[in-house]
Amino acid sequence: MNEKICAVVVTYNRKDLLIGCLEALRKQTRPLQGIYIIDNASTDSTPTLLLDKGYIKELPPLKLDEPTEKEFVIENLTNSEPIKIHYVRMNENTGSSGGFYEGVKRGYERGYDWLWLMDDDTIPTETALENLINKTITLDVNKVGFLCSKVLWTDGNPHIMNIPSVKPLINGIPFNIYEEKNILLVESARFVSLLVRRDVVKTVGLPIKEFFIWADDMEYTLRITRKGFAGLYTNDSIVVHKTKANYAAFQVYDWRFYYNVKNWLWVYKLHYKNRYIYLLLKTNLLTPKLPLKVWHVNIKASIDSFMKKPKIDSCVERNKHEC
């Protein structure tokens, strides 16, 4: 309980879902010490609702040239202890990737021991955080890179998008070696109830903001496990992901399709260099099997992945003050 845990919630134009997420965070049986709200320049009166609900005490300026951060305090509903609310209003929409980059960077600089990452449509059950952090007591915490929850959709079934990646052996260890403790080893996971240790951020750096949306979480957690840290899936930590449908990214053919293709190619370019060219060729050869409306998008995403390489920012501790 001496370790300080801060949730990082990225939001954009989903104010009602955001309030549901924040209320659930205030009810955690393992209380939080802070919450970073990264508001990606929402246009749906998100700040006004946060003000009405008591999460912030003043509205941000209408026009911003750069992100602004204000600190407020709200009461934990579990034990009435204070929770610091760090409200960050971005000057533009940087996507979920830019939001998590900003939240992890600022949470790290504030000195929090653990960062609990999630989207604004994530609703943690009351024991979700307690069951995550308890696993670090069972295992050697210095070997733990991240922990992730069991993510359900609104109907109680597993959320397809949020199933972590499991391999028979991860860093030479069987994935089910801790099965009796409700733990499985995973190679990568999503930013939907992902708990990351401070020292790990210092070692591997920050999420890649250039992804904008999708696959940034898979790249980041893969980066962590490839550094030798353990990724833990905890079966008894449960959250609900309130998306409109229970779907996977590969089933989507709207504006997000471009980012799904380019970003997955980037993941291979960064972590599986010997397989990147193969995947690049395969992606283009499969174009005729896709809906006609995304043919040009598939080709453009492939070309862009080849022409550019995302930058991994190291995490430099600029501030020494504690939370």
Domain for residue 134, yes or no? yes
Q: Looking at the structure, do residues 172 and 298 belong to the same domain, yes or no?
A: no
Stated pTM of the model = 0.94
Is residue 25 helix, strand or coil?
A: helix
Domain boundary (201, 232, 248) is at: 248
Assess whether pLDDT exceeds 80 at residue 161: yes
CA dist 162 and 149 (Å) reads 9
| pLDDT greater at residue 102 or residue 251 | 102
Q: Looking at the structure, do residues 159 and 209 belong to the same domain, yes or no?
A: yes
Q: Based on C-alpha coordinates, what's the Rg of the chain?
A: 19
**Residue 299: domain span:** 252-307
Q: Looking at the structure, do residues 95 and 127 belong to the same domain, yes or no?
A: yes
Main-chain dihedrals φ then ψ at residue 5, nearest 5 degrees: -115, 135
Q: Looking at the structure, do residues 165 and 182 belong to the same domain, yes or no?
A: yes
Q: Looking at the structure, do residues 118 and 256 belong to the same domain, yes or no?
A: no
Contacts (Cβ under 8 Å, ≥6 apart) of 279: 264, 265, 268, 272
Beta bridge partners of residue 114, listed in sequence order:
5, 197
**What is the tally of structural domains in the chain?**
2
**Residue 110 backbone zone (phi > 0: left; psi -120 to 50: alpha; other: beta):** alpha
Q: Looking at the structure, do residues 148 and 292 belong to the same domain, yes or no?
A: no
Q: Would you list the DSSP string of 221-254?
A: HHHHHHTT-EEEEEEEEEEEE--SS---GGG--S
Domain for residue 319, yes or no? no
Give the pLDDT mean for 154-181.
94
Q: Looking at the structure, do residues 11 and 153 belong to the same domain, yes or no?
A: yes
Domain boundary (202, 217, 248) is at: 248
| 110-131: pLDDT as tens digits | 999 999 999 999 999 999 999 9
Domain for residue 272, yes or no? yes
Q: Looking at the structure, do residues 257 and 241 belong to the same domain, yes or no?
A: no
Q: Looking at the structure, do residues 261 and 240 belong to the same domain, yes or no?
A: no
Q: Looking at the structure, do residues 192 and 272 belong to the same domain, yes or no?
A: no
Domain for residue 200, yes or no? yes
Is residue 282 helix, strand or coil?
A: helix
CA dist 57 and 174 (Å) reads 50
CATH number of the domain to which 107 belongs: 3.90.550.60
CA dist 180 and 183 (Å) reads 7
Domain boundary (208, 224, 248) is at: 248
Domain for residue 312, yes or no? no
Is residue 180 helix, strand or coil?
A: helix
Domain for residue 318, yes or no? no
Confidence of residue 320 (pLDDT cuts 50, 70, 90): very low
Q: Looking at the structure, do residues 114 and 167 belong to the same domain, yes or no?
A: yes
Sign for the CA dihedral angle at 308, 295, 13, 26 comes to negative
CA dist 108 and 315 (Å) reads 8
Q: Looking at the structure, do residues 137 and 153 belong to the same domain, yes or no?
A: yes
Q: What Cα–Cα distance (Å) separates residue 272 from each residue in 30, 75, 111, 205?
A: 38, 46, 33, 19
Torsion of the alpha carbons at 63, 212, 300 and 310, rounded to the nearest 10: 110
Is residue 170 helix, strand or coil?
A: strand
Confidence of residue 1 (pLDDT cuts 50, 70, 90): low
pLDDT of residue 2: 86
